[in-house]
Structure 1
């Protein structure tokens, strides 16, 4: 956004400066051209008067001396013809055969003077021709051609243009500096708002107040977003605290109930069902406590990358060795690239992989095959836990990480395992994605930052 705003401001400032500078440059060129034109027109008039008297007297010595003097002073050639078109005076080696001279002299002899100079610009030619007739239209007596040397005038024009353009560049840089400060003044609070809203959406946490800066409209927006964030934070905190408090309050009654049930006579009818339901209730309670702890960790801002690192292959092998005894006839296979080091804590990664292995063992079914793999992806390390069990219908994959979701099939779980896995991945700055395994089964993909 900053680049786009700076681009617009730069274009606007350039157009405004161009609208001011271009007429100024033209004015400098016109002024210097008119000055040169007036002085050389006066010189032509003087030579025409002298040539007219010389034509009447038949003596061109004086006008020749003046032409040579002009040649010495201004390095400009002078050519004078008589009424019959013969050259009477020539300085600087100029003849009627010189480029453009013959045509200009003929036009002037016909009373068509060439007294106008093209506007001088730095790239203009340094030599141009001016001509005026000698005598009167009724009694033409020849023509005077002056090869005007415009180098001095061009030097003045070029120097003036350079000064003006340098001033314009300096003004443009100053405007760009002011535009950059104005853009920063406007964009900086927008960037802070964006970061805060993104963080709120990512972790549900609102950790610090926004600094009110920038235009009044953005300050009001920042205050509104801050109120919204604080409200969302309070709502999340209240919800999480209620879950934690409820879970802790249930722990003691459940422990007491477990002791009483365990003390009952095993032969009592229905005791097995009671013990099974009690075990499920204990598992739900443990899952809620674990989920509340992970979400609190994310909200408190501890999901940022840390300096902790771990060897991915070693962690995966350890988890497979831990879960293989409980897997029964389910095969756990490791297919990990060696040397991958993740920028996460070893214990956190182990917990995450353990939850997903537990889920795969529970639901893949007898004789299933579970492959745990790790590779280096374009954005970090990719870990996959893929099984060839029944899997999850494609239309239910997006719901699988929701709390207490248990699918449409028969399930004995708490519905918290995948929710815990997703929150654990977020807590270590990673992501969790679920997809179908071909031809059947479920693949859980973990993406983690790689240590640098």
Structure 2
């Protein structure tokens, strides 16, 4: 903004200077030429009176001396002719031919003067780029032309003086522009200082905490009111965020205890129930477990939305191999195979711990959807860059051989709590939402596609290490680490993962 304000000041001042100096320069040039022409004409008239008087008294021999003296005094050249246009004297030494006695009545200015009219103007000189001013006047007596006097003045001194004036105007204009630039820069910095303070405060607020609020007693009144409103809004937002974080932290502890106690009490009923009530008890215990996982998922999403960290370098191939090895044992219980395929994807940018959670949730969904004897494929690839990307994106495909999803279901699958109408499992409907949030927090994207041979192909695209990392919203993942790995002591994958198959 400082630059724009400065440019606007300079543009306005430049227009003012051009509107003032350019007309002044042209007016000065024209007035100088007119003044010089009038002076030359007046001098020629005076000389013509003297020459006419000499000729009238028969003293034509005095004309050369008079012409030379005048020429030396005025810096001009003088030509005097008689009433027929024959040259009586000529002081012009630039020509090699003696023009005395030569008839020049055919020349336009001489012919005009012989008709008792004055002729003034400019014409090209004998040397290129050397214009001259001529003033040709008749010497008359009783309306009879006795002689003609022509004076020639070089315009080079006048041109130099005019050029010097233009240079002085240009230097003055540049000086004024320089002074205006300095003053305008100081004013622009003063005007935009509150805006820069607001910008810094906004960046701090985006990072999670406003430590230096903008001053509310500097700058124009409008910016002062804006700074005050921003400070109140930022304070309110920080208070709300702090309250929300406190709620998520407290709820994670307060809700776990009663849910655990409720499950234990329900399990204690088992020896005292008749066999016909055992099924209802198992369903109640399952619903309590599902409620516990849902609470954990909601709290994890709340932490994810309330924190901000920077993605770090993560080896995608290593994480894929590690998660596949861990999940193979649990997949074997359902007679489902897990294979790793594709090319090396290398290192990618990901929020710490996010990639493990993404793979765990996608494998959990795929395992729930896969029938016995099916195969789940984890494939990594780095496709070539297209015109829409500046760098290739590393891809992770998690493909199952289940029933798949319709196009409408795939569009809604990332919504919180969404579950397909034909879903017959204890999933919470939060797993794919977590996958999407974690992928976006890492600077990537996730899509669900139909697999070529049936089933679902979940595609996660992440930025390779060649791309610069960006700050993004992410979870305080250390707090939700127990949700990400199925090998946590005492937990099976069904009880740990936040999502079930959302199909």
Q: TM-score, normalised by structure 2?
A: 0.71
Q: What are the Cα deviations for residues 104-123 of structure 1, in whole angstroms up to 9, with x where unaligned?
A: 222233333234679xxxxx
Q: 1:257 aligns with which of 253, 262, 287?
A: 262
**Residues 433 and 446 of structure 1 are in contact (CA less than 8 Å); yes or no, is this contact kept in structure 2?**
yes
Would you say 1:207 and 2:216 are equivalent positions?
no
Q: CA deviation at 1:103?
A: 1.8
1:217-232, aligned counterparts within 5 Å?
Answer: 217-232=222-237
**Who is 1:373 aligned against?**
381
Question: Structure 1: where are the runs of 5+ without partners?
Answer: 119-123
Q: CA deviation at 1:370?
A: 5.2
Distance 1:49 1:132 in 2: 10
**Who is 2:430 aligned against?**
416
Distance 2:199 2:384 in 1: 30
Distance 1:66 1:35 in 2: 24
**Residues 348 and 462 of structure 2 are in contact (CA less than 8 Å); yes or no, is this contact kept in structure 1?**
no
Would you say 1:155 and 2:160 are equivalent positions?
yes
- Flag the 1:180–1:375 CA change in 2: closer, same or farther, 3 A: farther
Relative to structure 2, which stretch is displaced further, 376-385 or 80-89? Answer: 376-385
Distance 2:383 2:193 in 1: 38
Q: CA deviation at 1:128?
A: 2.8
1:436-447, aligned counterparts within 5 Å?
Answer: 436-437=449-450, 441=456, 443-447=458-462
Q: CA deviation at 1:14?
A: 1.3
Relative to structure 2, which stretch is displaced further, 248-257 or 313-322? Answer: 313-322
Distance 2:53 2:447 in 1: 109
**Residues 332 and 372 of structure 1 are in contact (CA less than 8 Å); yes or no, is this contact kept in structure 2?**
no
Distance 1:364 1:148 in 2: 108
**Who is 1:350 aligned against?**
356
* 1:89 match: secondary structure: strand
Q: CA deviation at 1:53?
A: 2.3
- Flag the 1:11–1:113 CA change in 2: closer, same or farther, 3 A: same
Distance 1:332 1:183 in 2: 64
**Residues 330 and 367 of structure 1 are in contact (CA less than 8 Å); yes or no, is this contact kept in structure 2?**
yes
1:52-91, aligned counterparts within 5 Å?
Answer: 52-72=52-72, 76-90=76-90, 91=92
Q: What are the Cα deviations for residues 151-172 of structure 1, in whole angstroms up to 9, with x where unaligned?
A: 2222222222212211211222
Q: CA deviation at 1:251?
A: 1.0
**Who is 1:286 aligned against?**
296
Would you say 1:277 and 2:291 are equivalent positions?
no
Distance 1:62 1:53 in 2: 11
Q: What are the Cα deviations for residues 114-164 of structure 1, in whole angstroms up to 9, with x where unaligned?
A: 34679xxxxx96423232222258212243222211222222222222122
- Flag the 1:396–1:239 CA change in 2: closer, same or farther, 3 A: farther
**Who is 2:146 aligned against?**
141
* 1:270 match: secondary structure: helix
**Residues 313 and 336 of structure 1 are in contact (CA less than 8 Å); yes or no, is this contact kept in structure 2?**
no
- Flag the 1:349–1:173 CA change in 2: closer, same or farther, 3 A: farther
Q: 1:318 aligns with which of 307, 322, 332?
A: 322
Distance 1:61 1:280 in 2: 134
Distance 1:146 1:126 in 2: 14
RMSD: 4.0
Higher helix share: 1
**Residues 320 and 378 of structure 2 are in contact (CA less than 8 Å); yes or no, is this contact kept in structure 1?**
no
Q: CA deviation at 1:311?
A: 3.4
Q: What are the Cα deviations for residues 347-387 of structure 1, in whole angstroms up to 9, with x where unaligned?
A: 34434444444445545775565544345753566343444
- Flag the 1:79–1:435 CA change in 2: closer, same or farther, 3 A: farther
**Residues 317 and 380 of structure 2 are in contact (CA less than 8 Å); yes or no, is this contact kept in structure 1?**
no
Q: 1:216 aligns with which of 209, 217, 221?
A: 221
Question: Structure 2: where are the runs of 5+ without partners?
Answer: 124-128, 469-503
Distance 1:60 1:323 in 2: 130
Q: What are the Cα deviations for residues 233-265 of structure 1, in whole angstroms up to 9, with x where unaligned?
A: 333433343243223101112233344445554
Q: TM-score, normalised by structure 1?
A: 0.78
**Who is 1:121 aligned against?**
none
Distance 1:24 1:254 in 2: 91
**Residues 360 and 370 of structure 1 are in contact (CA less than 8 Å); yes or no, is this contact kept in structure 2?**
no
Larger radius of gyration: 2
**Who is 1:384 aligned against?**
395
Relative to structure 2, which stretch is displaced further, 162-171 or 314-323? Answer: 314-323
**Residues 317 and 344 of structure 2 are in contact (CA less than 8 Å); yes or no, is this contact kept in structure 1?**
yes
**Residues 330 and 361 of structure 1 are in contact (CA less than 8 Å); yes or no, is this contact kept in structure 2?**
no
